[in-house]
Every structure is written in C-alpha cells, then in structure tokens.
Amino acid sequence: MGRGASTIIRTLQAAFRCLIPILAGSTMPVWATEPPAAPAKAREDAVAAMFDEAAKSPLTLRMFLRTMPKGGDLHNHLGGAIYAEDFIAWAREADFCRTADGLSVEPPPCPADRSLKRIKGQESNELARLTDSFSTRGYQQGVGRNEVSGNTQFFQTFSRFGPIGTISSAKMLAAERRMAAADHLSYVELDHDTSTLSAYIFTGPDVPLSEKDLPTRFDEEMRSLAPLLGRASAELDRDEAAARKELACDGIRPDPGCAVTVHYLFQGFRALPPSQVFRSLILAFAMADHDPRYVGINIVQPEDHVVALRDYDLHMAMIRFLATKFPKIHRTLHAGELTFGEVPPAELRGHIAKAIAAGAERIGHGVDIAYEDDARGTMALMARKGIAVEINLTSNDVILGVKGDQHPLSLYRKMGVPVALSTDDQGVLRTDMTNEYVRAAREQGLGYADLKSVARASLEYSFIPGASLWNERRIGDSVAPCAASFGAPTCTRFLATSEKARIEAEFEEKIVAFEQAQLSRRMPAMITK
C-alpha cells in the first residue's frame, strides 16, 4: 500500500468517526440536523482525497462525478440540447423522410425510398450519416476536419434538424429534464423561444435602423405585441403540460426529471438585419416582463458573423435602451465567443467589456478576455460586481479550438470572477454536465472543493426568483434567519418565501448526502486494509 493510500485511509477513518452519530440516527432532512463545522470539514477533506484518487483515470472520475449534485446549468439552448438520435426517432414517428442529400429531414409526402420508417436497424449508414449531420460527432472523431471547421459544422446542424425540432418542443422539454436529472442538476436556465414569436421575428421588415431610431421603432413594435405575448404563453403552457404528461409528473411514479426546476431565457438574434435584431430583443424583454417563467434575456447566434461583428455596438445600444423600458429584466449576454485567428485582432478588443457596459449580469463564454484592451480591469470589475462567466469547455474546444491552458477558466478564477460550468448545446456537442466536470478536473486542474464551489455558484448567480440563502453572496455564510440552522423555524419560514434560497438549501442537503454516500461505500473496504 502506497503512501497516498495511507493518507486517504487515515482521512476517511477520521471522517467516519466524526460522522457515525450523523449516519446512525436521524431520518430528518440533512439541513435539519446540520453537523458542526469540524465534521463537515473532515467529511469534505475525505471525499476530496477520494476525488484526487479517482481523477487519475477519466473513467473512474466520471463514475465518481456522475452522482455528484451539480447545481444549475445556466447556459443551455433547448434547440441544441437534444441528441441527434432523439430527433431521428421523432422524425420516424412523424413519418418524415431523408432529404435527397441525406443530411436532413423533411415532412411527408416524399419518395418511398427516402422514408425514415423504411430504414431497418439503428446502425444503418443512412441513420449514422444523419446523426453525424445533426451533431459534431463525426467531426470530433476527425471526420471531415480538413473540409470544415468546428464552428461551421456546429452551426450548420441547426438548419438540418430544424424541420423536426419545430414540431417537437414538448418532447424536447421532456428530454432536457431527463438529461438534467441524470446529471443530478437541480436547476436549468433554458434558452428557449416559442414558435409563435420566432415566426414573428423572422418576418420583420429589413429597413435601416440606427441608435437614434430606437425610441420610435420601439413604440411602433410595442403596439402590436400584446396579443402575441398571450399566444406565446399559451403555447408554452401546452408544451409544458405535454412534457409533464410524458414524464408522468402527476402519476405515482414520476420521472426524476419532474423534480428539476426549469426557468427560461428569451433569445434575441444578432446575425439578422438591425430592424429584426431589435424586434427580437423587444420581444425578449417584453416576454420576460409578461411571463414569470422567463427570468431573463440573452442574445445568440454566431458572434463572428459578419453582421454580428459589424453591428455589435448597435446591438449593445439596443439592450441599454430596452433596459430603461424594462429595468427589472435580468440580462446574460453571449460575449467573447471569439478567439485569436478566427477573426481579426481588432474584433477581440472589447466585446466583453461592452456587454458589461450594456448591463450584463453574466457573460456567456467570455473566451477572448485575454485579448481585450483592459482585460484585467474588466475581470476586476466582474469580480467586484459579481458578474459570473458561464464556462463551456466542450463547446469552446469544438467550435473555437480553445482548450487546456489556452482556455481562460483559470485566469477568471485567479482574478476572483465567479464561474459556472454549463453545457451550451449538449446534444449537438455530444456532451453532458458530468463530462464538463470531468474536463474541468482533468484539463483545468479543478479539485473537489473547486467543483463544489462552482456548483454552488451556479445557483447563486442564477436568475431564480427570490432572495439568496447566502449573506451578500458570501457562499457558505447563511442569511440571518438560517444562521443557526437550516432546520430553525425562522429558516423554514424564510425558505418558504424564496424559491432561490429553497433550491440552494436543497442543494446543501444533496451534497451532504452525496459525501456521506461516498464515505459509506468506501469505508468498509478501507478499514479492513
């Protein structure tokens, strides 16, 4: 037995002695029987030692991390969250066909030899080709890398599975909840637009628009919005009800996905003519103001698109203007999803700083931070104001080719910027949250305590309604009603008033249970050695 193993055994034995009274007795919730600080520290240290041992092997580490509670996924696009195999299965159910080039699907009627129902066997070449076309699976294995960039392969998938995605919203919501539950997530902040409003956005006029035109155009757009917002909410009602039915949420054996809390972000689109971008952002703010299920807004589409680059300052002006009309609406903005060599250096000088100036409360991606003119100043501001960055390791690797020590995750952490790991488009990218945690550990050097902090931050910097469990965002320092114990009557009453604090307290319960389970599984074998 090596020296490292001896250390782990001693740590585990000490932790186990501290935990015996806790493990032996109560059936009350963990937060109602909160252990004193010393046992909690010993428990975390013991689990961290187990994590360090598991981290030597990616497969062992995945097994360890699979059941770890991971808080929230704050950067998750419903359209890209679904695996190609699900889209293909739904297309077959709907009697869709392959297109003539075999790269997409189309609704019936179509030639019989292209009917998806006629394809036999899940491993057929036709279905495999569709799977690669709907995702970056083949690209990640080296297929076609000499012909297409990861950026191109990623973004072209959406138009390919789009025909089936447009009629599968309820199935997509159910699938996302299942995946989140399997990853032991408590919360998902889902980028999702209804088809009612998406159709309206893309039929907008393509007319010139400058910053001085925004007030007039806003008034014109708002006059026609009211009935659209109601129809969009009704559409979401139907989709959520159908998803709950598929998951049997009201039955005697509900799917675990029913327990995952989901809120939405409405997306504006940055690669459209200015008038359509403004319409999309107006709808985003208005829908978040109209329907409480939408907790904020975002802006999406490729940041390196010629229109997105040309009009970046105008888009930020639009967001600043709309914030004056809807001051209570939260904003997370995709910014800095660029890298050196992908665009000219001049385009890397200030997107993140400009997004923060437009009121971003979180930054999505933030990959190009080191190339911005005042990178240190921007990160210092993010740390001071609590502007978190949503880190998407697999996405940044596949789309931008940024990974390892070229990724700014460690830079943000050194500067004190809050970080949250997220999946971005897990279906297209063939990832999940557990894989993002594995990558953070093995490629970025995060330890168990680091990942635990990231999971807590993902809830703290979410837009879940209500007051935080933590005092002035000092995670671990409970607010006054819960300072003595999560089980105190004052805390119980407080948690009943805040969805955010309740979910955070439930996470604390789950992480303690996870750590206790890790120790109880390992302890018998370790004690006998």
For residue range 383-430, list pLDDT tens digits in order. Answer: 999 999 999 999 999 999 999 999 999 999 999 999 999 999 999 999
The number of folded domains in the chain is 2
Q: Where are the beta strands (DSSP E) in 261-381?
A: 261-269, 294-300, 330-335, 362-365
Asked whether the predicted pLDDT for residue 21 surpasses 50, the reply is: no
Verify that 389 and 246 share a domain, yes or no.
yes
Specify the pLDDT at position 524: 52
Kindly tell me the sign of the dihedral angle through the C-alpha atoms of 233, 238, 242, 245.
positive
- Domain boundary residue, one of 446, 468, 489: 446
Mean pLDDT of the chain: 90
Looking at this protein, which amino acid is placed at residue 272?
L
Which range of 185-199, 211-225, 325-339 scores highest in mean pLDDT? It is 325-339
Using the structure block, give the residue that is written with the tokens 């990218």. Answer: 429
Q: What is the mean pLDDT of residues 346-358?
A: 97
Specify the pLDDT at position 414: 97
Vertex 314 angle, CA 311 and 317, to 5°:
155
Within 13 Å, how many C-alpha atoms sit on residue 437's CB side? Answer: 34
Please list, residue by residue across 446-471, b when 16 or more beta carbons sit within 10 angstroms of its beta carbon and e when fewer do: bebebbbbbbbbbbbbbbbeeebbbe
Verify that 197 and 139 share a domain, yes or no.
no
Strand partners, 419: 389
Verify that 284 and 414 share a domain, yes or no.
yes
For residue range 421-460, list pLDDT tens digits in order. Answer: 999 999 999 999 999 999 999 999 999 999 999 999 999 9
Decide: 429 and 154 in contact? Cβ < 8 Å.
yes
**Token digits for 279?**
């319409």
Decide: 319 and 282 in contact? Cβ < 8 Å.
no
Asked whether the predicted pLDDT for residue 38 surpasses 50, the reply is: no
Q: Is 464 contained in some domain? A: no
Decide: 117 and 92 in contact? Cβ < 8 Å.
yes
Using the structure block, give the residue that is written with the tokens 């209500």. Answer: 466
Verify that 372 and 274 share a domain, yes or no.
yes
Separation of alpha carbons 132 and 138, rounded Å: 5
Q: Do the bridges between strand 330-335 and strand 294-300 make them parallel or antiparallel, or are there none, so unpaired?
A: parallel
For residue range 169-213, list pLDDT tens digits in order. Answer: 999 999 999 999 999 999 999 999 998 888 888 887 788 899 999
SS3 423: coil
SS3 234: helix
Verify that 298 and 401 share a domain, yes or no.
yes
Crossing angle of helices 150-165/84-93, nearest 10°? 30
| Residue 433 structural domain | 179-446
- Domain boundary residue, one of 118, 142, 165: 165
